[in-house]
Amino acid sequence: MKKTKIQILFGQRVRLLRKLHGWSQESLAARCGLDRTYISGIERGIRNPTLEIVLTLATSFEMELDVFFDWDGFKER
Amino acid sequence: MKKTKIQILFGQRVRLLRKLHGWSQESLAARCGLDRTYISGIERGIRNPTLEIVLTLATSFEMELDVFFDWDGFKER
DNA sequence: GTGTAGACTCCTGTCGACT
DNA sequence: AAGTCGACAGGAGTCTACA
């Protein structure tokens, strides 16, 4: 599987936020209505989620998309 | 084709930014390395682009993702 | 310059199972 | 709890063509 930079960063962002909430991948998946193995793939950077999925995840963290993407990792060159 | 709210808003955002730059769909597609008909579908809200595509488009407008999503349309309930 | 349709490849997203 | 695999349906993204 191909890991692009944005996928890796996105995965790190999801994992960080998930841990901040103290949730397991399973409970996050349940909240989002997504599959646990898919969350796993996202956090490992091997998945390229669609806009719908990105919104679903951000919403589950109760964040607007601009806040979700306002993170240092996304701004490195 | 299914139009979700986020797809419609995303399409409006792309169209707005494209016109602000004075570009045609064709020239935007060329800048992004995407297909013109695909840009058309995105602007009409019938496409659900992946994270990679979202980044590609934001980058073509020389915007970070958080700035791209910092738009009133995305914050309506 | 844009909208739309059809056809195509490849990947997204789901699910079960084992580690 | 999390990683990984295999299999699958449906959809993402490309391309040609016409209005």
Distance from CA of B69 to the nearest CA of A (A): 5
Please give the protein residue whose CA is closest to the C1' of the nucleotide D5: A37
CA B8 to chain centre: 10
Which residues lie closer than 8 Å to A23 by C-beta, 6 or more apart?
A31
All residues of chain B having their beta carbon less than 8 Å from the beta carbon of residue A52 are 4, 6-7, 48
Q: How confident is the model at residue B2 (pLDDT cuts 50, 70, 90)?
A: confident
Which residues lie closer than 8 Å to B41 by C-beta, 6 or more apart?
B47
Q: What is the pLDDT of residue A2?
A: 79
Model pLDDT for residues A23-46, shown as the tens digit of each residue: 999 999 999 999 999 999 999 999
Total CB pairs under 8 A between chain A and B: 57
Closest to B63 (Cα-Cα) out of B54, B50, B75: B54
Q: A12 vs A5, A34, B18, B42, CA distance in Å?
A: 11, 18, 31, 27
Nearest by CB to residue B55, choosing from A6, A65, A71, is A6
Distance from CA of A68 to the nearest CA of B (A): 7
Provide the whole-model pTM: 0.94
Strands (E), chain A: none
